[in-house]
Structure 1
């Protein structure tokens, strides 16, 4: 539901804008406010889970997310909806790091953990790709408020099952939260995500975009300096020097950049150039959704025999071939010619997700599982924002729409190929022994 709420809102905001009488700026905040808070607080959510126990913080996140979703559904004006979306993003930032940490806790054996991560990746891929389709169905049948109301039964069931079935997590109460570093990284990620989002609308050299990017760089430098000086850093810099952790995080950034850029530009092409409705666009994206449904689970099962490195490399090669094929299909290809590229991108991305996730989580020392999960998902969110922003810029600035679309797909294919090289160098062939506590 956390990932679904990133994409499902896109087809609902035009209706929300009409019914609540909000401006374009208000619509942008309804869409982007959730993502900004979600991305900016992921590391804080991971650190809280490591310190206070992943199950406890996960349950807090589910409760906050569910109540905020109810507030979104009941909103009577744009301001209250924006505030509720911001709170919903904060709840999401507590949920995602804890989800991977709890899976790692529940499945200590490498083969079982790989299958669990594969199922986690399948759900994330389905949610990301199915958002436009489900959003279109709900908006056209029940109304936009049901985009948020569907979170309620899922949230209640998740909270009840977690409390009943998931064992309490170990706490590391001696770990300091290092609030200066937390604030620095939250502001850094929020500014960078905002700059990337705005670049797609304003252009890369707009003063506001440049100012946000510059301030983000300042916050990044302040974070690194603080982590080098802190007695108990929230993200020890030495962890990033680990090939498995740093490389896995970079791979996550690259494949999210390519995949979400593809989904965004394809959605615009289907609606603006081909005249599809929101529901028809969701149906047109189904080939990618179908492949994400089982690719991660298949990868998790195969990892026991092959190790993760061959699977990540193979997945990125398949996805790269798909986007390269789209770029080579011509300026205005018919829809049937696009089915195979979408299937390849969806399959390859999900097929590689399990291995890259396991690479990052296995490399995390004891007591840093939540932080490792937060790092991985933060880089993925940045990749998503960059892919959407760059895709939008290409479509807006190219000589014609078809050229911009093909250029975007070509850049996405290049990102996948770069991930292939990183996977070969950084992803362990088999799960390594657990590092000692830092």
Structure 2
């Protein structure tokens, strides 16, 4: 949900469209595409790495170049839609997203791919920012609107569930470029449908666009992610990395000061005076920054180390994605009967246990070692997806409903971007050092050892063995499997620790909020 309230969607707007199903279908198509592009790349990263000669930092940007603009611009896009017209911004977003997808499919190097992924993210922010207000206008009846929002949520969950599997199927049969090219005909049809089938609507009293806040938040997030992604390769104490973290902190501080003083800030900081709301936002941030972010490195592990094809890797994500999809509607029903302190903190706890279980992977493990943990983590992911937006709405008064849900969605995207960058630094550091330890008895030349470390740190897995002298290949095969499995183990274990700490904090915050309520 976005920063535009559903109340604004109704007040002073033109009459609701006669065929609200058209609006719902267009919104669901748009949401399916933009959510699919968050998860579909997980199993395509190894092929992208091989074709474009990308290092781990480049692969991290494939994810973060998309999620950063989405996170930074989502609230602003909603405000622009309220002011200038939601159909107009939705159509523009669809055009931008579709053109960005086409450019991604045509990319010839990592820089072009990641620049166009950012263009996709800008279009996705416009689509996400206008989706819920358009539905609010199309369905003025609250019961009908609730069903439409249910279909909206099911679409998000469905796209997340089928992303790795569909991505693997496409990569195996058509090439990684088609995970982006497939958006082009669908996006073109959706653009025409939006122009012909969506009525225009605006808010009666739209908020002002906080351009300064948008710029500051974007600078802060970009500088933070850059520092996390490049810190391992350039040195954590280097001038470039230290400067990036200083810029991130300064821009964030300026953003908070501006938000506290502005008459109509991009983010209303009063929301964070409410313990329950802080707990809800923290849950979305942590689950995205741990479980969701870690799946990108597990995808590399499945393909490059365990030797599965992208489609086979997608199949092995099903314990996570299918249980998430199945659990979401179950917990949506339970949320009306069970206190939020149980469902929300419980979802984090289930994710924590699942991550701990999955983290037991080692050099002798197959994908089945991860499966039980993925089942548990998927239940927690589905539970959180089902209850967070409703809990955010319930934690505030109606005139802040859109802002509340929009900020939670923004925190999820920020969590994904920061998690991919931070866990990538952990993965690169742990796999590289483990590789050096494993091959030390071979007494390889220093330059060759460094090349092996760099390749393993980029997630190359067993692929490094093909470039080694014949007499070292048996030892290097074991070292590659062992070091990569160790890197995945550490990534999942750290994620579990962070999720566990967050579980305790969220439970306390929600309990305080319940007493206050």
**Structure-1-length-normalised TM-score:** 0.82
**Structure 1 match to 2:503:** 420
TM-superposed deviation, 1:181: 1.6
Between 264-273 and 109-118, the greater mean CA deviation after superposition: 109-118
Q: Which moved more, 1:344-353 or 1:121-130?
A: 121-130
Instruction: Tell me which of 28, 31, 35 is aligned to 1:3.
Output: 35
Distance 2:334 2:138 in 1: 20
Unaligned segments of structure 2, at least 5 residues: 1-32, 435-482
Residue 408 of structure 1: aligned partner: 491
Provide, for residues 406-426 of structure 1, a one-character-per-residue CA deviation record: whole Å limited to 9, x for no partner: 332222223333343344344
- Show structure 1 runs of 5+ residues with no match: 432-438
- Determine the structure 1 residue equivalent to 2:77: 45
Task: Show the 5 A alignment for 1:181-260.
Answer: 181-199=213-231, 202=234, 204-260=236-292
1:336 paired to 2:336? no
Output the CA distance in 2 between the equivalents of 1:213 and 1:16. Answer: 29
**Aligned twin of 1:356:** 388
Q: Cα deviation per residue 1:100-128 (whole Å; 9 max; x = unaligned)?
A: 45556677899987776665455434434
In 1, the alpha carbon distance for the partners of 2:142 and 2:362 equals 44
SS of 2:34's equivalent? coil
Q: Which is further off, 70-79 or 351-360? A: 70-79
Matched ranges for 1:357-396 at <5 A: 357-363=389-395, 366=398, 368-396=400-428
8 Å Cα contact 2:359-2:490 kept in structure 1: yes
Q: Structure 2 CA distance, aligned partners of 1:163 and 1:88?
A: 20
Contact 1:125–1:293, Cα closer than 8 Å, also in 2 = yes
Secondary structure of the 1:193 match is helix
Q: Which residue of 2 aligns with 1:291?
A: 323
Question: What's the counterpart of residue 104 of structure 2?
Answer: 72
| SS of equivalent residue, structure 2 residue 208 | coil
Pairwise CA RMSD: 3.7
Matched residues in 1 for 2:245 and 2:71: separation?
16
The alpha carbon displacement at 1:212 in A equals 1.7
Q: Following TM superposition, by how much is the alpha carbon of 1:217 offset from its aligned partner in structure 2, in angstroms? A: 0.8
Aligned-partner Cα distance in 2 for 1:319–1:126: 19
- 325 and 12 in structure 1: CA distance in 2 versus 1, 3 angstrom threshold: closer
1:300 aligns with 2:335: no
Q: How many residue pairs align between the two structures? A: 431
